């Protein structure tokens, strides 16, 4: 159930009013509060920058820890690439969060510090020039008003005092009337005291009303001067609010990775790599690398042939001629369809998508000889590549 505000609560509200003497102090202290807020903002987001740096370090440590485990894992094909992509994405995100850390400290923090230095000018003996100017303006505007209020309060207290005196005289008169114990002379004297108290009350009331009228006549001028100083303070505060808004927006821009193109690219690439997991291709690769699709030399009848006795020099010439006939002049450019890891020292290893030269045609067992751009040569399964 709601209740009407008491007289004391109304008086308390009036005593806290901006228009009462000295109550402009909260407005003056806004300058000091804003200066301290700048210190707190810088400290706050420097700590957030440390969080970003630590997160970047943890991402890098996590990626470096698991890279050798993933690279040597039994997974293969597109499934292995997907797992590796998580680690490479972490490396790229670590770089991004490290850049966020640098932006928060060197860009946002320095910007606030520079603005703070240019905006707030400290006095030699404490305080700020801006707040001192505002306080002096309020003091000059309130000085004549405070004098009038003091005079008014004195007149009010005098009127209330004489009113209490008149009330007491009236009560004594009412008590004496009709009381046989009070003599006529005594009643007459009490009546005269009441009349004198009434006259004095009227006189003091007139003086009180006159002082009040003077105060009310001065009030518009007082309000105009106070509002002028207050508007100056508001303008300074408006500039502070506008700047800090822009500073917060800049911090938000650096922290909001949801709109960062680099982050989108990282997660888009990761998503595409995961979607590219193809069980059919992976199983086909395993079949051709370790299963029935591997090239092999099935047993067949081999005719015995007597060794021909030839001179050493002639044998080397014939061997060289045979080699020259099997080597392809210039080679053919091919592209690997699957990853292949050489099992022997004379075999060539490569990754899916890698290009190199085929320098010898496929033999009876399904092997070709290739050469990489660096000059490395070796044998490889013919069905693992396609001509470019």
For the stretch 98-147, pLDDT in tens is 999 999 999 999 999 999 999 999 988 888 999 999 999 999 999 999 99
Q: Which DSSP symbol is given to 155?
A: H
Residue 308 pLDDT: 59
Question: Quick one: 332-387 is in which CATH superfamily?
Answer: SH3 Domains (2.30.30.40)
CA 55 to CA 93: how far, in whole Å?
10
Residue 191 pLDDT: 85
Neighbours of 214 (CB within 10 A): 13
Residue 343 pLDDT: 84
Domain boundaries, the chain: 15-261, 332-387
Is the CA virtual torsion 230, 235, 238, 244 positive or negative?
negative
- Residue 119 region by backbone torsions, left for phi larger than 0, else alpha for psi between -120 and 50, else beta: alpha
What would the two tokens of residue 20 be? Answer: 């009462």
Of 173-177, 187-191, 241-245, 320-324, the range with the highest mean pLDDT is 241-245
Residue 326 pLDDT: 46
**8 A C-beta contact, residue 194 and residue 173:** yes
CA 17 to CA 12: how far, in whole Å?
9
Q: Which helix (H) or strand (E) holds 97?
A: helix 77-102
Fold observed for domain 15-261: Substrate Binding Domain Of Dnak; Chain:A; Domain 2 (1.20.1270)
Helices vs. strands in the chain: H and E counts, helices first: 10, 5
For the stretch 41-63, pLDDT in tens is 999 999 999 999 999 999 999 99
Phi, psi dihedrals of residue 293, rounded to the nearest 5°: -80, 0
CA 358 to CA 385: how far, in whole Å?
10
Nearest in space to 351 (alpha carbons), one of 359, 361, 340: 340
**8 A C-beta contact, residue 142 and residue 21:** yes
**8 A C-beta contact, residue 241 and residue 41:** no
Residue 293 pLDDT: 82
CATH fold match for the domains 15-261 and 332-387: no
Give bridge partners of residue 332 from the DSSP assignment. Answer: 358
**8 A C-beta contact, residue 246 and residue 252:** no
For the stretch 16-35, pLDDT in tens is 899 999 999 999 999 999 99
**3-state secondary structure (DSSP) of residue 369:** strand
**8 A C-beta contact, residue 105 and residue 47:** no
CA 326 to CA 359: how far, in whole Å?
9
**Confidence at 329, pLDDT banded by 50, 70, 90:** low
Burial class (CB in 10 A: 0-12, 13-18, 19+), 375: exposed
Q: Which DSSP symbol is given to 73?
A: S
CA 71 to CA 267: how far, in whole Å?
21
* 159-173, 211-225, 281-295: the lowest-pLDDT one: 281-295
Largest CA distance in the chain: 176
The reply to whether the predicted model has a pTM over 0.75 is no
């Amino acid at each position: 159930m709601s209740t009407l505000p008491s007289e004391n609560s109304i008086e308390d509200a009036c005593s806290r009013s901006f228009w009462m003497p000295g109550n402009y102090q909260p407005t003056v202290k806004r300058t000091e509060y804003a200066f301290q807020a700048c210190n707190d903002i810088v400290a706050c987001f420097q700590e957030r920058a440390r969080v970003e740096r630590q997160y970047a370090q943890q991402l890098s440590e996590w990626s470096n820890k698991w890279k050798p485990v993933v690279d040597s894992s039994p997974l293969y094909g597109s499934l292995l690439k997907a797992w590796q992509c998580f680690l490479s994405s972490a490396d790229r995100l670590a770089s991004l969060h490290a850049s966020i850390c640098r932006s928060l400290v060197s860009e946002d923090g320095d910007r606030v510090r520079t603005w703070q230095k240019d905006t707030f000018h400290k006095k030699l003996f404490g305080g700020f020039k801006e707040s001192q100017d505002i306080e002096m303006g309020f003091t000059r505007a309130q000085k004549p008003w405070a004098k009038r209020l003091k005079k008014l309060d004195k007149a009010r207290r005098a009127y209330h005092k004489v009113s209490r005196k008149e009330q007491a005289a009236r009560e004594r008169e009412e008590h004496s009337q009709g009381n046989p114990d009070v003599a006529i002379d005594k009643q007459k004297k009490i009546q005269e005291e009441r009349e004198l108290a009434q006259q004095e009350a009227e006189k003091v009331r007139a003086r009180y009303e006159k002082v009040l009228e003077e105060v009310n006549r001065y009030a518009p001028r007082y309000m105009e001067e106070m509002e002028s100083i207050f508007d100056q303070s508001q303008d300074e505060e408006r500039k502070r609010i506008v700047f800090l808004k822009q500073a917060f927006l800049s911090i938000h821009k650096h922290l909001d990775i949801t709109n960062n193109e680099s982050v989108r690219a990282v997660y888009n690439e990761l998503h595409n790599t995961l979607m590219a997991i193809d069980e059919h291709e992976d199983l086909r690769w395993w079949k051709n690398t370790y299963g029935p699709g591997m090239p092999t030399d099935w047993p067949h009848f081999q005719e015995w042939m007597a060794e021909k006795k030839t001179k050493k020099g002639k044998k080397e010439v014939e061997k060289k001629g045979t080699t020259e006939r099997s080597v392809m002049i210039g080679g053919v450019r091919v592209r690997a369809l699957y990853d292949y890891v050489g099992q022997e020292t004379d075999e060539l290893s490569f990754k899916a998508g890698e290009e190199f030269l085929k320098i010898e045609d496929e033999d009876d067992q399904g092997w070709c000889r290739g050469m990489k751009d660096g000059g490395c040569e070796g044998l490889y399964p013919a069905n693992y590549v396609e001509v470019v």
